[in-house]
Amino acid sequence: MAHMTIRADRIIGTFKPLHGVNNGPVCYGSLIDVSHYYAKTEIPLVRLHDPNWPHAWEVDIHTIFPDFSKDPADPASYDFSRTDEYIRTIVATGADIVYRLGESIEHTATKYYIHPPEDYGKWAQICIGIIRHYNQGWAGGFHYGIKYWEIWNEPDKVVGPKHKMWSGTWEQFYELYAAASTAIKRFDPQLKVGGYAATSVNRDDFLNEFLTVCRDRRLPLDFFSWHVYSADPQQIVKDARFAREKLDAYGYPQAESHLNEWNYFEGDFRTIWQPGNEHIRRLVFERAKGSVGASFVATVLMLMQDLPVDAANYYDGQPTALFCGLFDYYGVPQKAYYAFEAFHELLQHPQRVHAAVSETAPGITCCCGADASGHIALLISNYNGKSGTYHIEVQGIASGSEFLLQTYVLNDKQELDLQEESTRNIASLELFIPQHTVLLLKAAPV
């Protein structure tokens, strides 16, 4: 029988709170607000990119600094009003922020704002103005202490009229990064600056050129950010290791690795938006919100515990359609949200203990935590394993001891609900775990 082995007496470390998201808890001009859900799961890190409040531009450079001919040193050149309100809602949940400096994606045939700025140095000074406003109280601002400042998003796609994020050449982006990163670190060396929010780390030509420029010009790179949309959790495993190897090889062993866009996606980005494919679109994105996406989310959150990933942001947290897997546009939590909730419950047992899955149980992922009082939490996800009965052996507990065992199940039929509760010895358990199911077992000594 396929089995899992838990060593409750073998502490192997602590958990990384990698359940960050993109964008804040409000949408449609704050008409829909899921702040209480953000607070409940203690979302640790919110990246600002493509919000929908109700526009995608609320944190963009052109929104805050609408007239590039103005003086970046003059507070009157800026309009922070909408951005202030949006960021306030995020800070109120207790989350930290990754501020993407740049512009939102443009799907329109005409591109309006994704062009290289006329003056890179001036653009960098505008970024400094934004940092001063949110961290130093400048121009009627705040003291939020935003640490991460990301330069642009996905400039590494094919150059040409179809590019949705950067209309310039790759060399022009390198110059923009050089100007902004050095200016920001000169302004405040304690800040962490990075980018470039890679569409794919496997785009070797762009990544190698970028890291070569950074190395040869000794540019600051405190964190490197990259994205994965896939239905294969092993793709994230491979890309995480690849990104770390590249950073180390180019002389940035201290640079953090941020997977700051990721989600379940089983489709083709080249064709999914075409007319006639609307039913495919709905299937793909609804699967991301359901039990398939939820089991994928739980699997990835656990796999990343053993990967060289320092921060992560699921795309997307805001209550909209399409990529948002956590809530629908009414603000109703979806199955994927409850995977976040289950992971958060695991984090309440901060001592990570040994948990292993046998080779006869492919597709099953598990993590186990304990606290100082002897409480144990075991998170299990069956993303693509077989439906079947699995044996769980719990070692390292006192012989004959009894626990109050609570079993929570998340599948197509329910939310993360308590399915069973009993007082028993937990040294040997058998559970039937259907495919695409997330289970949370909580055991309290009695």
pTM, whole model, 2 decimals? 0.96
Burial profile 156-169: b = 16 or more Cβ within 10 angstroms, e = fewer: beeeeeebebbbbe
Cα separation, 322 vs 313, in Å, equals: 17
| Residues 269 and 227: beta-carbon distance below 8 Å | no
Same topology for domains 3-11+351-445 and 16-347, yes or no?
A: no
**CATH topology assigned to domain 3-11+351-445:** Immunoglobulin-like (2.60.40)
CA angle 255, 257, 258 (to 5 degrees): 130
Q: Write down the pLDDT at residue 321.
A: 66
Helix axes 335-347, 278-289, angle to 10 degrees: 30
Q: Write down the pLDDT at residue 118.
A: 96
Cα separation, 87 vs 109, in Å, equals: 30
Return all residues near 374 (Cβ < 8 A) that are at least 6 apart.
444, 445
| Residues 8 and 399: beta-carbon distance below 8 Å | no
- In the structure encoding, which two tokens stand for residue 85, read together? 């309100």
Beta bridge partners of 390: 431
Distances (CA, A) of 87 to 16, 67, 134: 24, 22, 9
Q: Write down the pLDDT at residue 2.
A: 86
Return all residues near 173 (Cβ < 8 A) that are at least 6 apart.
116, 152, 155, 166, 196
Please report, for the chain, the start and end positions of each structural domain, with discontinuous segments joined by +: 3-11+351-445, 16-347
Q: Write down the pLDDT at residue 160.
A: 55
Asked if the 16-347 domain carries CATH number 3.40.50.150, the reply is no
- In the structure encoding, which two tokens stand for residue 173, read together? 């982006």
Q: Write down the pLDDT at residue 163.
A: 83
Cα separation, 304 vs 312, in Å, equals: 9
DSSP collapsed to 3 states, the chain:
CCEEEEEEEEEEEECCCCCEEECCCEECCCCEECHHHHHHCCCCEEEECCCCCCCCCCCCHHHHCCCCCCCCCCHHHCCCHHHHHHHHHHHCCCCEEEEEECCCCCCCCCCCCCCCCCCHHHHHHHHHHHHHHHHHCCCCCCCCCCCEEEECCCCCCCCCCCCCCCCCCHHHHHHHHHHHHHHHHHHCCCCEEEEEEECCCCCHHHHHHHHHHHHHCCCCCCEEEEEEEECCHHHHHHHHHHHHHHHHHCCCCCCEEEEEEEEECCCCCCCCCCCCCHHHHHHHHHHHHCHHHHHHHHHHHHHHHHCCCCEEEECCCCCCCCCCCCECCCCCECHHHHHHHHHHHHHCCCEEEEEEECCCCCCEEEEEEECCCCCEEEEEEECCCCCEEEEEEEECCCCCCCEEEEEEEEECCEEEEEEEEEEECCCEEEEEECCCEEEEEEEEEC
Q: Write down the pLDDT at residue 159.
A: 54
Cα separation, 418 vs 440, in Å, equals: 9
Per-residue confidence in pLDDT tens, the chain, 446 aa: 689 999 999 999 999 999 999 999 999 889 999 999 999 999 999 999 988 877 778 999 999 999 999 999 999 999 999 999 999 999 999 999 999 999 999 888 899 999 999 999 999 999 999 999 999 999 999 999 999 999 999 999 765 566 889 999 999 999 999 999 999 999 999 999 999 999 989 877 899 999 999 999 999 999 999 999 999 999 999 999 999 999 999 999 999 999 999 999 998 888 888 899 999 999 988 999 999 999 999 999 999 999 999 999 999 999 986 777 899 989 999 999 999 999 999 999 999 999 999 988 899 999 999 999 999 999 999 999 999 999 999 999 998 899 999 999 998 777 888 999 999 999 999 999 999 999 999 999 99
